[in-house]
Structure 1
Amino acid sequence: MHLTKTWLAQLPLTDIQQVQPVSGGDINAAFQIITRHHQYFLKVQPHNDVTFFDHEVAGLRLLGAVTKTPRVIASGTIATDGYLLLDWLATGTGSQSALGAAVAKVHHQHHAQFGLDHDFTAGKLWSETREMHYHRLRQQLLQDSHMHTVKPSLLHGDLWSGNYLFDTTGTPVLIDPDVFYGDREMDLAMTTIFGGFDTDFYQAYQAAYPVAPGMQDRLPSYQLYYLLAHLNLFGETYGPAVDRILMQY
């Protein structure tokens, strides 16, 4: 995506000196913007308005109340494109222990109800076989005593290794949230799918907020949620992983 001078002039910035594309995920176009006195990270969602970023803005503010996140500068719609402007964060190195403690601190934020104040819609993904095994899984979850004792925690919602970094002081920073209130084991399940979290992370998390017995047995059902989301976004590349879990039920 190319940003024209006319487009850039509508951002709430002055003295823009340089704009360059950067990696920013599979959904948005992303850019580093350098002005005379500051640097910014810009996300653009072509052919969508600012409401596309409303959930992310809300998530950054919820997470930012208890741990470090990028500061939201502005969001809006320019021409036919939604945008989100954040502070640019210079990266450094940090410890997995600090990250584990930060995630535990997030999970200590509780709410009386699960979810959020709006729904997510993923559409229908199932074959008949997947449908059958999914309903078996669902029945087991409903009968699991653990599910009746869960206290809804604030979750990052997409906690893989691409969604955290360390700033130049070594402080963990959580980025690109998809927040909701739910069982904190969902975030922990996501950390196990693609790697990037080591023993120090889990030990520090456990020391700060011990998990309930039996979590390892519950992880596959929570991994399934995220694998289904990837199946929806990226297709049948994730089908075998989905089926490996569903066939256990």
Structure 2
Amino acid sequence: MEDMLKKELATSVLKNTGRGGGGCVNQGVAYETDQGLVFVKMNSNSGARKMFDGEFASLVALHTADEVRVPKPIKVLTNPEGGALLVMEYLDMRSLSSHSAALGQQLARLHQQNAGIGQRMLKEQQSVHKNSDLNYVDKFGFDVETCCGYLPQSNAWTDSWVQFYAQKIEEQIQMLESEYRDKGARELWSQILPSLSKLFDGLDIQPALLHGDLWGGNVGQLSDRPVIFDPCSFYGHAEFDLGICNMFGGFNSAFFKNYFKVLPKQPGYETRLQLYLLFHNLNHWNHFGSTYRGSSMGILKHLVKELKKS
């Protein structure tokens, strides 16, 4: 593997620094090269190439947006020993602390960036001085499949956010039915789906570039700024990113306060937060088993009650 890495990275030096990391899905190692330090994520499973291709595309999109710092992606490689590798810039990070407020502001600016481009394009349609560099995304989805954890998300471009998000939940429930033969989530979701659009009444939802899996383990900081990593991006409702922010902690009040200074809460936010927590609880149920059944069913029951009130 290391011989292949040296060739693909065109480096005469490839020295394992002993620094690395990993989680429940991937492992990683930092290497010294002719061009500086790189971080190599590794996964030996057959679906690793698709997973890393999606993460690479996500990092490219976030790096291009240039609102929140991410590791610069370098290459995705098929590992001759099995699976795949994702090579990116190495960043010497520590846990998020002093830059929480900055992350809130920067994330909100990321979420409003595409809508801002749309507004500028609308103005330029009435002007003789047009900027051809503007590129507004007017649908929900992404150019490639991405994986939240190791499970793929189709991300097919869709005109309606409600339709796109309903399909995300549908994919999760189909996996539950296939793997666990559990019909409980389906029974409750079938009561929610016909009225799902009520949770978005009065909102003008424009596609926002999202991180997609923004829990506390996927954020950190450098000496001067926050960093986000391990994305599974798509264009969706900005509030979706805040769902998992509220699931495991790691984000303090300064983060949320400064996020909402830029993008204020909209009516019905608390109920929609539960809707977005639902995806991640179902996804964790599919990854880790019935430990997450209770929380998933609890959210579904809560949403059924809320929609009956409306």
The verdict on a shared fold, with TM-score over 0.5 as the criterion, is: yes
Q: Secondary structure at the match of 1:23?
A: strand
Q: Is the 1:189–1:222 Cα contact (8 Å) retained in structure 2?
A: yes
The answer for the alignment partner of 1:39 in structure 2 is 37
Superposed, which structure 2 residues align to 1:63-142 within 5 Å?
63-64=62-63, 65-66=65-66, 67-79=68-80, 80-92=82-94, 94-110=98-114, 111-118=137-144, 120=153, 122=171, 123-126=174-177, 127-142=182-197
- Are positions 1:197 and 2:257 aligned together? no
The RMSD of aligned alpha carbons is: 2.2
Between Structure 1 and Structure 2, how many residues are aligned? 245
Give 4+ residue runs of structure 1 displaced > 4 Å after superposition: 4-11
Q: Which runs of 5+ in 1 are unaligned?
A: none
The answer for the alignment partner of 1:56 in structure 2 is 55
The answer for the alignment partner of 2:18 in structure 1 is 20
Q: Secondary structure at the match of 1:42?
A: strand
The answer for the alignment partner of 1:155 in structure 2 is 210
CA distance in 2, matches of 1:240, 1:21: 38
Q: Secondary structure at the match of 1:131?
A: helix
Q: CA deviation at 1:46?
A: 0.9
TM-score by length of 1: 0.89
CA distance in 2, matches of 1:190, 1:101: 17
Q: Secondary structure at the match of 1:162?
A: helix
Superposed, which structure 2 residues align to 1:160-171 within 5 Å?
160-169=215-224, 171=225
Q: Which runs of 5+ in 2 are unaligned?
A: 115-136, 146-152, 155-170, 305-310
Q: Secondary structure at the match of 1:144?
A: helix
Check 1:113–1:20 CA distance in 2 against 1; reply closer, same or farther (3 A cut): same
Q: CA deviation at 1:205?
A: 0.6
CA offsets 1:60-97 (integer angstroms, 9 cap, x no match): 11111222110112221131331111111112553211
CA distance in 1, matches of 2:289, 2:19: 26
Check 1:5–1:53 CA distance in 2 against 1; reply closer, same or farther (3 A cut): closer
TM-score by length of 2: 0.72
The answer for the alignment partner of 2:270 in structure 1 is 216
| Letter aligned with residue 39 of structure 1 | L
CA distance in 1, matches of 2:228, 2:199: 31
Q: Secondary structure at the match of 1:32?
A: strand
CA offsets 1:37-64 (integer angstroms, 9 cap, x no match): 6222100121436443111111111111
The sequence identity of aligned pairs, in percent, is: 29
Q: CA deviation at 1:115?
A: 1.4
